[in-house]
Amino acid sequence: MTSDIKILVVDANPIRAAIIEEGLREAGFGAIVQVSETKGLVAAIGQHDPDVVVIDLENPSRDALADMFQVSRHVRRPITMFVDQSDAAQIEAAVEAGVSAYIVDGLRKERLKPILQTCISRFNAFAKLREELDEVRSQLDDRKLVDRAKGIVMRLKGLGEDEAYALMRRTAMNEKRKLADIARSIITAAEVLK
């Protein structure tokens, strides 16, 4: 597992970057790329296409956390951030920015592997929850469309709720389309014919 993972290390301090790289190599990670700044990080991630991003900041500034927010919005990757000092507001801002693991005063090479494994697992669990939430929202939106279209069919054809739904469903099956697509068509036609 570890040898297949490509890691982007972001650290302005070459000594600390060397510690991280050595720890990652000892842990079995082979594909490691280093950059020295958080500015332009979205482009660097696009260029190197890492599986995981490891960022080492001695004291994260608001600008650095704002950069993390931009990164997490544009590129969905597990992000581990090592910092020397922090406060509750910085931790909260980092988590809101999409950082999967925020480690305070914990940069030791022997800890890198379990921290990264936890980071990746947490990221994957959160991504799964996000996908499930998106699916539920989509289903709810589709249900609202179907209900709205059903009301239009009931009004225009003088049908009851069950009959309007059955007609829409039959139409969807006959046309080999989703019920939500039929509902959109009905709503669009009703808007045009107003």
The CATH number assigned to the domain holding 45 equals: 3.40.50.2300
SS3 38: coil
Query: Could you tell me if 147 and 56 lie in one domain?
Result: no
Query: Could you tell me if 84 and 10 lie in one domain?
Result: yes
Angle between helices 14-26 and 112-157 (to 10 degrees): 90
Amino acid letter for position 121? S
Determine the average pLDDT of the residues in 91-102: 78
Asked if the model's pLDDT at residue 61 lies above 70, the reply is no
Asked if the model's pLDDT at residue 68 lies above 90, the reply is no
Judged by average pLDDT, the poorest of 3-17, 44-58, 101-115 is 101-115
Determine the average pLDDT of the residues in 134-138: 95
Name residue, tokens 């079995």. Answer: 28
Whether the model pTM is above 0.85? no
Give the model's pLDDT for residue 84: 78
Asked if the model's pLDDT at residue 119 lies above 60, the reply is yes
Mean per-residue pLDDT of the chain: 84
Determine the average pLDDT of the residues in 128-144: 94
Q: Give the pLDDT band (50/70/90) at residue 169.
A: very high
If one counts the domains in the chain, the total is: 2
Q: How far apart are CA 91 and CA 113, in angstroms?
A: 22
Q: How far apart are CA 3 and CA 118, in angstroms?
A: 16
Query: Could you tell me if 7 and 81 lie in one domain?
Result: yes
Query: Could you tell me if 38 and 81 lie in one domain?
Result: yes
- Note whether residue 173 is domain-resident: yes
Query: Could you tell me if 8 and 83 lie in one domain?
Result: yes
Give the model's pLDDT for residue 2: 56
- Note whether residue 124 is domain-resident: no
| Closest of 188, 181, 180, 182 to residue 142, by C-alpha | 180
Q: What is the pLDDT of residues 11-53, one digit of tens each?
A: 888 888 888 888 888 888 888 888 877 677 777 888 888 888 8
Could you give the percent of the chain with pLDDT greater than 70? 89
Degrees (nearest 5) of the Cα angle 102, 58, 70?
Answer: 55
Strands lying side by side in the sheet with 31-35: 31-35, 6-11, 52-57, 79-83, 101-104
What residue numbers bound the domain in which 76 lies? Answer: 2-107
Bridging pattern class, strands 52-57 and 101-104: unpaired
Determine the average pLDDT of the residues in 62-71: 66
Query: Could you tell me if 6 and 102 lie in one domain?
Result: yes
How far CA 36 is from CA of 8, 14, 17, in Å, comes to: 10, 8, 9
DSSP secondary structure of 40-84: THHHHHHHH--SEEEEEESS--HHHHHHHHHHHHHS---EEEEES
Q: Which residue has the higher pLDDT, 173 or 83?
A: 173
Asked if the model's pLDDT at residue 90 lies above 80, the reply is no
Give the model's pLDDT for residue 189: 92
